């Protein structure tokens, strides 16, 4: 009996060590917690959103390298996305979360032109460290105005006239969520983001970083406690018939254990919806994203799939702009767009938020109808639509 107990303790200790090596002790309990089975009537609508930590200055590149990165995206992504369509006839929508500290007008002019042609939208990304409230307010408000006024990006709230934006935090450290306090510095960041016009955060999942929340595979509202960090660790789920609460909506991407890909053939890898050369978007991964079942409570027939990448890193560009992502889109369109069991919708971050808000308001049917439900398209989208209409009329 003593020997058996010793083996059990040893095994448990080994498992705990493995969990801590990848910070899995933070989120594994919520991941394993039983959830009510989802019962959807009719086809399941898959809302697919690809968000990008788009950093042309990655690793302190020179200007020629920056330009080459942006130019390749503007050339190759147009070609790739142009070959694919969802159930609504729209190409994949790429959400370019551009870093405030890497602003260069010529790069954003090019990306904005591609977005105006119908291939995505621009949002805000930020890397900062030991920041102050005054500096954060100044730089974020300035950048939001610049994106809207100089590049036709970011929507304007039709009721308040405020420029609105989605947000991704650099180094995953939303609301000062590292134990050592690095890469942020603001315990009231959720409050500041709300006041400055942020409509939702798209940072998560952050695993295996310690910045990962204990809440996984959810869409929820988080209330900021300015006396402590990582207030978004938990929150109130967005539900049909509910209402906005707290300070900021958190829209998470899938986080799971991938038992089909194991380290040393034993330990499952973390599926954190990150796309790069070392983790290409295989059919098994696509299935896992949909299976995660992220939805607004009470609307299980709308599944929200948000994946992410760092698009300007050369080692990963062949994956993101080449055959691996080509195959991903083909699989999505074949497996999840038959019109009977599944209907596929490519959405931007803004459109995903709008559809979440429509579900919260109790609306149903085809989520395509609610792409612009709460926030209208940015100015560049209106201009692009007018130009495309004029070209079609002239043809």
In a domain, 10, yes or no: no
Helix (H, G, I), strand (E, B) or coil at 128: coil
Q: How far apart are the first and last CA of the chain?
A: 84
Closest by CA position to 375, among listed 191, 159, 91, 192: 159
Residue 259, Cβ neighbours under 10 Å: how many?
A: 12
In a domain, 32, yes or no: no
In a domain, 31, yes or no: no
Kindly give the pairing relationship between strand 198-201 and strand 165-169. parallel
In a domain, 324, yes or no: yes
The band of 307, judged by pLDDT with boundaries at 50, 70 and 90, is very high
In a domain, 335, yes or no: yes
Helix (H, G, I), strand (E, B) or coil at 28: helix
Tell me the residue range of the domain where 134 lies.
40-394
In a domain, 209, yes or no: yes
The band of 258, judged by pLDDT with boundaries at 50, 70 and 90, is confident
Q: What is the pLDDT of residue 15?
A: 43
Q: Determine the average pLDDT of the residues in 50-61.
A: 98
What distance in Å separates the CA atoms of residue 90 and residue 371, rounded to the nearest whole number? 12
Q: What is the pLDDT of residue 393?
A: 54
Q: What is the pLDDT of residue 194?
A: 98
In a domain, 18, yes or no: no
Q: Determine the average pLDDT of the residues in 150-178.
A: 97
At 23-47, the pLDDT tens digits run: 999 999 999 998 777 777 789 999 9
At 65-83, the pLDDT tens digits run: 999 999 999 999 999 999 9
pLDDT at 1 over 60: no
pLDDT at 13 over 60: no
User: Helix (H) and strand (E) counts for the chain?
Assistant: 12, 12
To which residue do tokens 């050592």 refer? Answer: 180
How many domains is the chain partitioned into structurally? 1
In a domain, 260, yes or no: yes
Q: What is the pLDDT of residue 7?
A: 40
CATH number of the domain to which 355 belongs? 3.20.20
């Amino acid at each position: 009996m003593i020997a058996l107990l010793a083996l059990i303790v040893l095994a448990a200790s080994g498992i705990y060590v493995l969990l801590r090596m990848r910070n899995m002790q933070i989120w594994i309990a919520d991941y394993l917690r039983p959830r009510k089975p989802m019962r959807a009537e009719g086809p399941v609508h898959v809302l697919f959103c690809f968000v990008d930590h788009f950093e042309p200055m990655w690793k302190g590149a020179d200007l020629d390298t920056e330009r080459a990165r942006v130019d390749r995206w503007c050339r190759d992504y147009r070609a790739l996305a142009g070959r694919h369509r969802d159930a609504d006839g729209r190409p994949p929508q790429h959400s370019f979360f551009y870093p405030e500290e890497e602003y260069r007008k010529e790069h954003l002019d090019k990306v904005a032109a591609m977005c105006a042609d119908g291939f995505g939208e621009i949002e805000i990304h930020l890397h900062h460290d030991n920041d102050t409230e005054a500096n954060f307010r100044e730089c974020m408000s300035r950048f939001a105005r610049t994106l809207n006024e100089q590049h036709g990006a970011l929507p304007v709230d039709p009721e308040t006239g405020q420029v609105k934006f989605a947000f991704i935090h650099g180094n995953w450290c939303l609301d000062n969520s590292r134990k050592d306090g690095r890469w942020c510095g603001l315990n009231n960041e959720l409050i500041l983001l709300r006041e400055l016009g942020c409509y939702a955060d798209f940072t998560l999942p952050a695993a295996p970083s310690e910045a990962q929340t204990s809440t996984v595979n959810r869409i929820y509202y988080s209330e900021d406690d300015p006396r402590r960090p990582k207030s978004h660790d938990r929150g109130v789920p967005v539900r049909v018939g509910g209402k906005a609460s707290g300070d900021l909506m958190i829209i998470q991407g899938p986080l799971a254990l991938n038992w089909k890909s194991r380290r040393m053939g034993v330990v499952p890898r973390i599926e954190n919806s990150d796309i790069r050369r070392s983790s290409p978007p295989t059919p098994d991964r696509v299935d896992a994203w949909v299976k995660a079942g992220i939805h607004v409570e009470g609307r299980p027939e709308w599944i929200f799939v948000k994946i992410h990448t760092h698009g300007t890193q050369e080692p990963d560009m062949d994956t993101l702009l080449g055959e691996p992502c080509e195959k991903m889109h083909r699989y999505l369109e074949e497996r999840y767009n038959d019109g009977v069991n599944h209907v596929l919708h490519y959405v931007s971050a803004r459109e995903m938020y709008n559809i979440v808000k429509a579900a919260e308001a109790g609306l149903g049917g085809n989520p395509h109808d609610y792409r612009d439900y709460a926030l209208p398209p940015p100015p560049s989208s209106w201009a692009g639509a007018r130009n495309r209409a004029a070209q079609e009329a002239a043809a």
